[in-house]
Structure 1
Amino acid sequence: MTPVFPPARTPNPLDAPPLRWGVLAPGRIAAAFVTAVSRYTRQRVVAVGSRSLDRASAFAAEHGIDRAVGSYQELVDDPAVDVVYVASPHSEHAAQAGLAVAAGKHVLVEKAFTRNAAQARHLVAAARAAGVLAVEAMWTRFLTQTDVLARLLADGVLGEVTTVLADHGQHFAPDPQSRLFAPELAGGALLDLGIYPISFASFVLGAPDSVVATGSRTATGVDAQVSMTLSTGTAQACLNTTLLAATPTTASVSGTAGSVEITGPFYAPASMILTTADGRAVREPDPVAGHLGLCFEAAHVAQLIADGATESPLLPLDETVRILETVDEIRRQVGVRYPGE
């Protein structure tokens, strides 16, 4: 009998109740988010805030947003905003998401949640004290393929999991002016790219018992390439991230009874290939392609807020902190420290 994929339980993003969103820090990922939300959900982006009013106004005009403001504080204080999407570089997340939390606003914070685990613990504590929802925007966690994988694991279709493989590499020409190469902006491959395979391994295996990493650094001192082995019990995750080359960006989970491969890029809507003793099956990706898949995380957050929840069951805050603890240990082994740490 040919193996069969279980159906995804992920709700249709259009079913989530519409909320009013404010975008903090207009840029490339913010543009992708607004496009996805506008096309595939009933969410409304009503305001955008930047340190530059001109930049905010240009973004608002391009995306049909009603209000543009020239400060982050003004954005989070806006009574017409229900939830804030923090789209700045991860070096700024702790402070800027903290502004929203202090203003009593729910927050969806781009990955990586903060630049290190200490900042994450502080932000989590603040959100819990304020009674607001805080979620890391690790959008892969909210895609339908991730729920399908969760069901395969829960049903034991793969048997006892032994091996997780994942990589994420892109080629960037060395540029000391780029945030990816700037230590003060928490640059490097790990927080920008490597967070995807690390989060994937955490989803499958949980927190690692041991972490072994090796890598190289750029001339500016941030991580250029890192290879990691995360071990949990009898299972291992072999992961890689790099700024030096475009890699396949695939992921796989293998066990004693079968394996699942997610084609590249695995962190976006992608095909899944299930192989067991009974044969091989292919699950095609969702028609919502590429970064349009950001609609799922926005809809999930909106539903949580409507339900009065303050954490996501798909990515609990404690797991977000543990993932950054793993990243901190990897950086320690590779010899990368950010200013002020």
Structure 2
Amino acid sequence: MSRLNGMGDEAHKRGLKVKVAILGAGRIARHMAETLARMASDDRYRDLVEPWAVASRSQGRAEDFARRHGIPHAYGSYRELLVDPEVDLVYIATPHSLHAEQAQACLQAGKNILVEKSFTANAAQARPVLEQAQALDLLCAEAIWTRYMPSRVMVDDIIASGAIGQVKAAAANLCYPTTGKPRMTDPALAGGALLDVGVYPLNFLDMVFGPKPLERVESTAVMYHTGVDEHNATTLVYTDGAMGLASSSMTVSSDRSGTVWGTEGYMVCRNINNIEAIDVYDSDHRLSGHHEVPSQLTGYEYEVAAAAQAILSGARECAEMPHQDTLRIMELMDRIRRIWNLRFPFED
């Protein structure tokens, strides 16, 4: 169990910090460890979170990871981490195909969880995790950092201001050459561009348009020789006539841009994976506004802070990425893969 479970506001009053553990010791886990170290020495976060432990399937690897990142506890199995009563929040940083099983194990052990995107491999895996979190009264949140960043509010504010008129369409892309990573090309690990990088363009569109109903979804993909998607492109048509375009790839580079088109102008977001700046143009293509995004530690601090604050306040989901949004995106990616006839081996 977590020592903070059921404390709610009392945890705030006693000045308790949320002790964070990392499950996994790969590349994205290293980024999180760096983030936690910086948060622990930053005046904005030092009284909120505390780096506590890392778990790997190898004791040696866990100890090396902990030593490199200044983490006080290293475990050579995931079970050892789950029985540590000091752990309040587990960040799950393993391949997509493992998320559901590991998330449920953490919840059963009484641990709040922050699960790296994509939340699970499919919606059928996601539903019981979310249901279990609710039943056990534990925090469960998806760690898709763009949902938590200040840039998300900036985009919302620009749209709400009417600067580009009524939003009628948007487009987003994200492409990186990542086939050198085995998890990206292996169907058994839920590989492919969609779940790893394609989830960002879809979330960008979802943040722009919100949870309104879709009239139809059209999509196509080029398959890698292992059978997962190499490139993909998807068109979302909403019942009110708005349209969203999303594309991603794991073998090429792209400009990573997100554009929102309105009746009186448009907005260009540089790098949807971590927006650097937003430019607003009028209908004559004249620059009418330039918006710089605030400096950050690594960008991961926002999701960690949101999860920690939710735990300390007794909330069981993060307002920035509530359960319904996680499930909607998972269902959409299932729908897209059905169009391609792409199923992972463990789904058969």
In structure 1, give the amino acid aligned to 2:78: Y
Alpha-carbon distance in structure 1 between the residues aligned to 2:194 and 2:302: 24
Structure 2 residue aligned with 1:280: 288
Of stretches 149-158 and 292-301 in structure 1, the one that deviates more from structure 2 is 149-158
Alpha-carbon distance in structure 1 between the residues aligned to 2:264 and 2:138: 42
Alpha-carbon distance in structure 2 between the residues aligned to 1:256 and 1:76: 52
TM-score, normalising length: structure 1:
0.90
- Distance change (3 Å), C-alpha of 1:102 and 1:274: same
Structure 2 residue aligned with 1:29: 28
Q: 1:293 aligns with which of 276, 299, 302?
A: 299
Alpha-carbon distance in structure 2 between the residues aligned to 1:150 and 1:307: 25
**Percent identity (aligned):** 37
Q: What are the equivalent positions in structure 2 for 1:1-341 lying under 5 Å apart? A: 18-40=17-39, 41-42=45-46, 43-173=49-179, 178-207=182-211, 208-232=214-238, 233-264=240-271, 266-276=272-282, 279-288=287-296, 292-341=298-347
Tell me if structure 2 keeps the 8 A contact 1:17–1:302: no
Tell me if structure 2 keeps the 8 A contact 1:91–1:186: yes
Tell me if structure 2 keeps the 8 A contact 1:216–1:334: no
State the shift of 1:34 in Å: 1.6
State the shift of 1:319 in Å: 1.2
Structure 1 residue aligned with 2:12: none
- Distance change (3 Å), C-alpha of 1:116 and 1:217: same
- Structure 1 unmatched ranges of 5 or more: 1-15
Tell me if structure 1 keeps the 8 A contact 2:174–2:273: no
Q: Number of residue pairs matched? A: 321
TM-score, normalising length: structure 2:
0.88
In structure 2, give the amino acid aligned to 1:37: L
Q: Deviations over 1:94-141 (max 9, x none)?
A: 011111111111100000000001101111011111100111001001
Tell me if structure 2 keeps the 8 A contact 1:171–1:246: yes
State the shift of 1:335 in Å: 2.0
State the shift of 1:284 in Å: 1.6
State the shift of 1:285 in Å: 2.7
- Structure 2 unmatched ranges of 5 or more: 1-14, 40-44
Alpha-carbon distance in structure 2 between the residues aligned to 1:151 and 1:306: 28
Tell me if structure 1 keeps the 8 A contact 2:37–2:69: no
Structure 2 residue aligned with 1:7: none
- Distance change (3 Å), C-alpha of 1:287 and 1:95: same
RMSD (CA atoms): 1.7
